[in-house]
């Protein structure tokens, strides 16, 4: 099964890269953000202060879309905590583009082949995810996606393979002249029993476009992020995380 997942992931990457020279680009954006909280849960029933530096890139094309992020987790007290770096690369290839047939049906905007590569972090991940994604056309949101994956887990805990569902969303709204963005993701991993527990991570952000108040919109956002993480890293040895972080994000 491990080789099958790597083949699927390689195929998704190849399909994403191959048409790049002839792709019609619909959207592309990069950002750097800084978060800080004293409520991040760690082993031993402890909470720790940490600052997270994040780089993100998202792109949408006629062949599909891609998302990449890299987190640098920097603890305040290195005597009691550990710094680490974690990232994901998640390309999706449109079946409508591959077949030449529009797959819109009701609120379904498109169906896609979905893959993700996860690396690093507190669990020292080297995971391959392969599955199917659905893009939805829903009122009041800029995007809403659901992805369903089979996960080839390779972590420091040597977790068996399992299944994962990921939901991502982005909903801009305005109050007077102020522009806001409510976005985020939710992950559910099935676990397999025993040492590997089912894992739920819900991570919304609410930010204000500071530039919308100064006639320079779309550059700097500030707000909060909330992290609810049950069975963090798939283990019951960490208390459920309920962390509120201060957030500043710059787009370019």
Is the predicted pLDDT of residue 21 greater than 50, yes or no? Answer: no
Q: From CA 121, how far away is CA 72, in angstroms rounded? A: 9
Q: How confident is the model at residue 50 (pLDDT cuts 50, 70, 90)?
A: very high
Angstrom distances, CA of residue 46 to CA of 75, 86, 226, 228, 245? 13, 21, 18, 16, 17
Is the predicted pLDDT of residue 140 greater than 90, yes or no? Answer: yes
pLDDT per position as a tens digit, 31-49: 999 999 999 999 878 899 9
Q: pTM, whole model, 2 decimals?
A: 0.88
Residue 212 half-sphere exposure toward CB, CA atoms < 13 A: 16
What 8-state DSSP symbol labels residue 29? E
Tokens of 195: 């040492």
Q: From CA 101, how far away is CA 171, in angstroms rounded? A: 28
pLDDT the model gives residue 13: 53
Q: Give me the percent of the chain exceeding a pLDDT of 70.
A: 88
Tokens of 27: 């959207």
pLDDT per position as a tens digit, 152-192: 988 766 567 899 999 999 999 999 999 999 999 999 999 87
């Amino acid at each position: 099964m491990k080789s099958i997942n790597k083949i699927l992931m390689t195929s998704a990457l190849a399909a994403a890269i191959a048409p790049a020279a002839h792709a019609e680009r619909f959207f592309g954006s990069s950002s750097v953000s800084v978060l800080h909280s004293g409520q991040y849960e760690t082993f031993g029933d402890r909470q720790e202060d940490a600052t997270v530096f994040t780089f993100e890139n998202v792109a949408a094309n006629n062949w599909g879309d891609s998302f990449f992020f890299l987190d640098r987790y920097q603890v305040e007290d290195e005597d009691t905590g550990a710094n680490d770096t974690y990232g994901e690369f998640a390309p999706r290839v449109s079946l409508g583009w591959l077949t030449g047939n529009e797959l819109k049906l009701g609120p379904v905007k498109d169906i896609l082949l979905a893959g993700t590569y996860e690396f690093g972090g507190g669990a020292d991940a080297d995971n391959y995810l392969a599955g199917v994604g659905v893009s939805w056309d829903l009122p009041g949101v800029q995007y809403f996606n659901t992805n369903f994956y089979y996960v080839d887990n390779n972590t420091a805990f040597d977790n068996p393979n399992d299944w994962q569902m990921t939901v991502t969303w982005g909903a801009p709204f305005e109050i007077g002249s102020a522009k806001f963005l409510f976005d985020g993701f939710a992950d559910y991993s099935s676990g397999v029993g025993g040492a590997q527990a089912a894992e739920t991570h819900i991570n919304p952000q609410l930010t204000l476009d500071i530039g919308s108040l100064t006639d320079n919109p779309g550059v700097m956002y500030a707000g909060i992020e909330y992290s609810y993480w049950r069975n963090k890293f798939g283990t019951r040895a960490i208390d459920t995380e309920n962390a509120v972080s201060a957030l500043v994000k710059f787009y370019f």
